Amino acid sequence: MRAMGFEDARHFLSRTGFGGTPAEIRQLASKSRAQAVVEAIDGLKLQPHTKPPEWVHKPLPPRRKLKMLMGDKKAVQMLLRTRAIDLKTWWLDEMVQTPSALTERLTLFWHNHFVTSMQKVRRPVFLYQQNRMLREHAAGNFRDFVHAVSKDAAMILYLDTQQNRRKSPNENFARELMELFTLGEGAGYTERDIKEAARAFTGWSTQKLTGEFKFRRFQHDSGSKTVLGTTGDLSGGDVIEIILKRREFGPMIVEKLWAEFITTPIPTEQRRKLVNGFRRDFEIRPLVSAILSSKEFWADANRGTRVKSPVEFVVGLVRVLGLRLENPKLMVKACRDLGQDVFSPPNVKGWKQGPAWIDASSLLRRQLIASRVRQLDSTAADDPAAWLGVPTAQVRSECARVLLPSPPVQTDSANLGQYELGELLLDPVFQLA
């Protein structure tokens, strides 16, 4: 097996994670591409690597009692706000600490697919539970995944399923299930299918305190429904099965996952193959594996062509440079300022990926953050030569090779050391993965 070399290793680590440290890149460089893919996939984790905030294991008393205990509504709001920030900090820190960056990238991918937001759900613990659910299924079976999502407390609250009652059906979840989660907009279903599907999910609700799924039998419409041509006393679960058997199912997920890793479009033949495989067994793991093994993934046309998301940018800075943050909450603020407040996507469609991440305001903010990084303690700043693992004379060229996917466009790299590191972080090329 042929060693892939430095450039390939750098590319792989930045696209499947948040970028590699010089040591990580060098270590991977001696392996083959195939080996890199296998190890990344085998390394996927079902459990988080770091400990979540203590409070996730202790359900809060009901809202009214809580208000009584804490004195007033404001105190309760403060508590929930603090917990929300705790949770965001925990996840971003998990992304920094984890040995499996791909797990986090996939979890974030699904967070942006099966979207829910703290803004509406308001109960941080439900978003924690959902995060655990997302990571368990992130590379699992998509069919199980959709069933789990449909019973997830945060989702039930976010898409108003708890208000979906026999006498007043709410179509929100049924609509997004077809439009955004599985088939794609208008792909082989009608408004009538949405209305009928909504009836099947009536009575689906959640335990307000624990977040456990609750089926309220008397709110459920057990009459006959017709969804996508199938008639019967369909349950919500039946509807999911019907949807996943449609011939329209597959392409949207395959294309979206492809675009997460590869910026060039998926070739038709490749698309057909991957969709067919995915439709057969709904397995996400082999799909990810195939995408990362494709020649398009490794092609020159797919190098340095992705605009880093704010999370990739911020977590990447911390991971790659070995930043020692006194207060990891700073990451939450940085990501929010740059437009990606984790656990609070803007709407049910999630964050817009790609070049949209960079506009005048966010570019200026990225530059500000990058320029402040110079003043922080980091492994990279302690001793650049040791960090890079090269003699001092090579620091200049090596630094650019680690930090940038292609040569700098604005850096006149005449000087050595930390100053230059800072310059590279301000280069437009640093915005890319």
Partner 1 sequence: MKRREFLQLSSLAGLTLLAPGTMWAMEKTHGRTLVLVELKGGNDGLNTVVPFEDPTYKRLRPNLALSKSEVIRLDKGPYLNATLNPLRPLWDEGHLAVVEGVGYPNPNRSHFRSIEIWETASDSNEYLHDGWLSSALPDGVGPLPGAMIAGAGEDGPLRGVSALTVESPQQLFRHGQRLRRVDVKTENPALAHVIQTQNDLVGSIASIQERVGPSKSPNGDFTKSSLGRGLQMTAQMLGAGVPLTVVKVQLSGFDTHAQQPKKHSRLLTDVGQNLAAFAKSLQTYGRWNEVVVATYSEFGRRVKENAGRGTDHGTAAPLFVLGGTVKGGVFGETPSLTDLDAGDLKFTTDYRRVYATLSKRWLGGESLGHQPLSFL
Taking the C-alpha atoms of residue 18 and residue 318, their distance in angstroms, rounded to an integer, is 9
Distance of CA 271 to the CA centre of its chain: 22
Minimum CB distance to partner 1 smaller for 140 or for 304: 304
Q: Would you tell me how many other CB atoms lie within 10 Å of the CB of residue 195?
A: 15
Segment near partner 1 (CB under 8 A); pick from 132-140, 219-227, 285-293, 422-430: 422-430
Binding mask 225-254 for partner 1 (x = CB under 8 A): ------------------------------
State which residue, 89 or 431, has the beta carbon closest to partner 1. Answer: 431
306 binds partner 1 (CB under 8 A): yes
* Minimum distance from residue 429 beta carbon to partner 1 (Å): 7
- Residues 330 and 96: their CA atoms lie apart, in Å, by 13
3-state secondary structure of 382: helix
159 counts as binding partner 1 under rule CB under 8 A: no
205 touches partner 1 by CB under 8 A: no
Backbone angles phi, psi at 378, to 5 degrees: -155, 160
Which residues touch 239 (CB under 8 Å, ≥6 apart)?
Answer: 174, 177, 197, 200, 201, 227
d(CA 352, CA 330): 23
Q: Is 432 in the site for partner 1 (CB under 8 A)?
A: yes
180: Cα within 13 Å, side-chain hemisphere: 18
Contact by Cβ (8 Å): 210, 270: no
Nearer Cβ to partner 1, position 36 or 76? Answer: 76
Least separation in angstroms between residue 302's CB and partner 1 is 11
Instruction: Report DSSP state, residue 393.
Output: G
Burial, 58: exposed, middle or buried (Cβ in 10 Å; 0-12, 13-18, 19+)? exposed
- Does 276 contact partner 1 by CB under 8 A? no
Q: Is 389 in the site for partner 1 (CB under 8 A)?
A: no
3-class DSSP assignment, residue 167:
coil
Of 232, 221, 226, which is closest to residue 190 (Cα–Cα)? Answer: 226
> Tell me, what DSSP letter sits at residue 326?
S
Q: Which CB atom, from 50 or from 347, has the smaller least distance to partner 1?
A: 347
Contact positions with partner 1 (CB under 8 A) in 342-361? 346-347, 354-355, 358-361
137: helix, coil or strand? Answer: helix
CB of 222 to partner 1, least distance (A): 29
Q: Give the interface segment with partner 1, choosing from 5-13, 180-188, 311-319, 362-370 (CB under 8 A).
A: 362-370
239 contacts 201 by C-beta, under 8 angstroms? yes
Among 27, 32, 77, 210, the residue binding partner 1 under the rule CB under 8 A is 77
Q: Does residue 410 bind partner 1 (CB under 8 A)? A: yes
Taking the complex as a whole, how short is the minimal distance between the CB of residue 358 and partner 1, in angstroms?
5
Least separation in angstroms between residue 273's CB and partner 1 is 27
Please give the size of the binding site for partner 1, defined by CB under 8 A: 31
- Do 278 and 253 form a contact (C-beta atoms < 8 A)? yes
Q: Does 299 bind partner 1 (CB under 8 A)?
A: no
- Give the shortest CB-281-to-partner 1 separation in angstroms: 34
Could you tell me which stretch among 35-43, 286-294, 381-389, 403-411 binds partner 1 (CB under 8 A)?
A: 403-411
| CA distance readout (Å), 387 to 23, 233, 262, 324, 399 | 8, 64, 29, 14, 10
The nearest distance, CB 393 to partner 1, in angstroms, is 27
**Any contact of residue 363 with partner 1 (CB under 8 A)?**
yes
Instruction: Give CA–CA dist 317/310, Å, rounded.
Output: 11
Under DSSP, the state recorded for 266 is P
- What is the closest distance, in whole angstroms, from the C-beta atom of residue 428 to partner 1 in the complex? 4
Closer residue to partner 1 in complex, CB, 286/428: 428
**Does 362 help bind partner 1 (rule: CB under 8 A)?**
yes
Binding of partner 1 at residue 32 (CB under 8 A)? no
Please, which residue, 63 or 272, has the CB nearer to partner 1?
63
Name the nearest CA neighbour of 8 among 303, 294, 227.
Answer: 303
Q: Which residues bind partner 1 (CB under 8 A)?
A: 77, 117, 119-120, 263, 304-307, 346-347, 354-355, 358-364, 367-368, 371, 406, 409-410, 426, 428-429, 431-432
